[in-house]
Chain A
Amino acid sequence: MAIYQRLGRVSYTTWGSFSVLYNRNSGNTHLVENIPAILMEFCFSNSYFDEQELYQNIITDMNIDDQLVKNSLTSFVKMDLLEKVEN
Chain B
Amino acid sequence: MKTKKIDIAACLGSYGLTINIGFFRYNIRSSLRTVEQSIETLYSDFELTDYETDSQLVDFHVLVDEVWQLRSVFNRQAKFFLDGLAPFNSLPIQHAPAIIEWGMNWCVSSQLNTHLIIHAAVIEKDGFAAVMPAPPGSGKSTLTASLIQEGWRLLSDELTLIDLNTLQVSPFPRPVSLKNESITVIKNRYPNVIFGPISSDTAKGNVCHIRPPSLSVKNQHVNCPIGWFIFPKYQREAKTEFFEFGKAQALMSVAENSFNYSVLGETGFDVLKNVIGKANCFQFKYSNLDEAIKVFSGLPVPQ
Binding site for B on A (CB under 8 A): 11, 13-16, 18-20, 22, 24, 27, 29, 31
* Residue numbers in A under 8 Å from B252 (CB-CB): 20, 29, 31
Contact B246 A15 (CB under 8 A): yes
A15/B247 contact (C-beta < 8 A), A20-B252, A31-B252 known: yes
* Residue numbers in B under 8 Å from A31 (CB-CB): 248-249, 252
Binding site for A on B (CB under 8 A): 246-249, 251-252, 255, 262, 265-266, 269-270, 273, 277
Taking A15-B247, A27-B265, A31-B249 as known contacts, 17 extra A-B pairs with beta carbons closer than 8 A to each other, sorted by chain A number, are: A11-B266, A11-B270, A13-B277, A15-B246, A16-B246, A16-B247, A18-B248, A18-B249, A19-B248, A20-B248, A20-B252, A20-B269, A20-B273, A24-B265, A24-B266, A29-B252, A29-B269
A11/B249 contact (C-beta < 8 A), A27-B262, A29-B255 known: no
* Residue numbers in B under 8 Å from A22 (CB-CB): 266, 269
SS class, residues of chain A in contact with chain B:
strand
* Residue numbers in A under 8 Å from B262 (CB-CB): 27
Q: Once the chains are docked, how many angstroms separate the CA of A26 from the CA of B285?
A: 35
Q: Once the chains are docked, how many angstroms separate the CA of A22 from the CA of B251?
A: 11
* Residue numbers in B under 8 Å from A15 (CB-CB): 246-248, 277
Q: What are 11 contact pairs spanning A and B, CB under 8 A?
A: A11-B266, A15-B246, A15-B277, A16-B248, A20-B248, A20-B269, A22-B266, A24-B265, A27-B262, A29-B252, A31-B248
* Residue numbers in A under 8 Å from B251 (CB-CB): 13, 20, 29
* Residue numbers in A under 8 Å from B273 (CB-CB): 11, 13, 20
* Residue numbers in B under 8 Å from A27 (CB-CB): 262, 265
* Residue numbers in B under 8 Å from A11 (CB-CB): 266, 269-270, 273
Interchain nearest-CB distance for A1 vs B (Å): 31
- Residue on A with the closest CB to B256? A29
* Residue numbers in A under 8 Å from B248 (CB-CB): 13-16, 18-20, 31
* Residue numbers in B under 8 Å from A16 (CB-CB): 246-248
Interchain nearest-CB distance for A3 vs B (Å): 26
Q: Once the chains are docked, how many angstroms separate the CA of A31 from the CA of B255?
A: 12
* Residue numbers in B under 8 Å from A20 (CB-CB): 248, 251-252, 269, 273
Q: Once the chains are docked, how many angstroms separate the CA of A18 from the CA of B273?
A: 13
Interchain nearest-CB distance for A35 vs B (Å): 11
Q: Once the chains are docked, how many angstroms separate the CA of A16 from the CA of B247?
A: 9
* Residue numbers in B under 8 Å from A14 (CB-CB): 248
Which one of A11, A18, A20, A31 has the highest number of Cβ atoms from chain B below 10 Å of its Cβ? A20
- Residue on A with the closest CB to B261? A29
- Residue on A with the closest CB to B270? A11
- Residue on B with the closest CB to A29? B255
Interchain nearest-CB distance for B145 vs A (Å): 32
Q: Once the chains are docked, how many angstroms separate the CA of A23 from the CA of B246?
A: 21
